[in-house]
Structure 1
Amino acid sequence: MSLTRRLDRAVGLPAAYRLVDAALVGLLVAALAVCYATGMAPTGVAAVALAAFGLEFGVSRVVTDGLLRGLELADEAPPRLRRIAAEMAAELGVAEPSVVVDRESAGGMNVLGDGDRTVLVAAAPLAERLADAALRAVVAHELAHRSLGHLHRVPLRAAVTHTVGLAAFWLVALRHLPPQVAAVAGGVFLVAGVARSNDINFLLYVLASAGVVVLVQALAARASRLEECHADDVAVAATSATDFCTGLYAVGALGDADDAVAGGSPFGARRTRLERLTAEHPSIESRLARYGHVPDEVAEGAGVERPADD
């Protein structure tokens, strides 16, 4: 049984991901304490935390604002999708989202939030191919993240990872360098961490922290996986297990790296070892199993071609 399943059974989903977040806070405090104990000045300790959190939140805000401005030029969603989004928003008690269609995405769906504004972004293939019932369930899953407050925790976990990683970098190398050089190197580390979608940046981020950031990311990923399961449960309660599993499978089969429903590497059998450790979404197989389904049972109803096994 996976750690995600064990935590779910032991304390329930909301308590489980809050416990993981508490553990991350504990790591944050320990990392800053270690920096101080090994010779970093109090102002340096404060600067480490402020820089990590400020950079992550600043970049996240800029990216979100840019995406929202770009979506103003996107194609308006078809009436069917707008109607479904409005119905599910009312059922979940969230503000009715603006709904747009992304013609460039292969099959993803995402929800973006900026204060009181919510925007649901659906890939054209997904909006066109999914039947109403499955589409309702997928929309419900994304809006559930908004109703449960999950969107605000993502940059917090990333900032904790940056801080703990920078503390490890300090212990390994920075404390032995002149202060000015250490400050520049620390800044480069943080920039690489925030822009870690680039393979070179990610490699620098991992190596400089002696691999510590991977372990922190794995812990943060557990919280995210538990949140995904919580959103799954809300979607199932609002629709049905079969409808949700069908929609989830369809999203995963269409595949999109930026998808927020199934994740960038949705099928467990295809995940690399690193993805198994740090993926923020449980595998589709495990998510279906929570509701007594297997991929073969929902593949036909999903209305998409089944992915070939690699």
Structure 2
Amino acid sequence: MNDKTPEQQWQWLQSGPGLSALSEACPQDWLLVRDELAAVFARRNPAELKQLVERSSQRIKPDARFLSGERNGRAFADFVRAQIRQRMTELALRQYAFSAATGVYQGKVRFNFFNGFLAQKLLFKHDLVRKPVSMRAFKCIWPLLWQKRLLMPLVEKRGIYCFYSRELIAGLARIIGQRSCLEIAAGDGTLSRFLSDAGVDITASDDFSWGKVLQYPESVQRMDAAAAMARFNPQVVICSWPPSGNRFEKQIFRTRSVETYIVLGSHSRFITGNWADYEAQTAFAWQEDAALSKLVLPPELKAGVWVFQRKSA
């Protein structure tokens, strides 16, 4: 990275490099981040860890001090390096939490033929196109897979963070009913496709920021969450695996048309959701639907379904 100007480094950071790319490009910064994380984990202070998570998930843009002609000075260089270290911290925390959930911390991840064949038949319609999974079939077949902990590290690289059971889709459809529904951060639109097949009036939207990983179908509208809510004025909003510390969920609580917001995500606050915004908002009462949580697959993810209902005036 020493051969790049601060402006070039900033533009590269905006392209979303992964933790490996960041640590290889900025080894000294990675050593500082690694040492800080090791010290925090060693102290085992929940409050300190929570503060670190919240700080690492903040997105800061260059302010008026850094005009286009002022981005090669020392101040902007320091700003960029700080943002690189912050991004490293966020990705490292997410990787740690995900590894803890899946049990895979290092080494290559690969299914053998038997495990791969059963997983494919159980979870996918074809290739990596998911299907609603029968809980009955899942309970019979899943215990037979002795490599089950390898599943999520394999599919996560293709933008798949969980699987949806038929019973889960039916339960979500009952909550939504005949109301208009919008899925934000919909990815490849799998959840919206399943809900639509169940009779739900739903529109899928995504800002297409994961274009290098996903192939977006025509059924997914290209727009960010705020634009989608302003255009469709949904009564129900649903989001599956919202990024940790995201900036868009707060817009849901500010949208007057929204009566219900449904979140599918991880119990680990390192992996999904903006928990600070969940706890700060006062317009909605919310709680986990424990019955639906058990229907998000696989169970090793320790996933949850949280339902926010607007309070009556």
With normalisation by structure 2, the TM-score equals 0.28
Structure holding more helix per residue: 1
Higher relative contact order (CA 8 A, sep 6+): 1
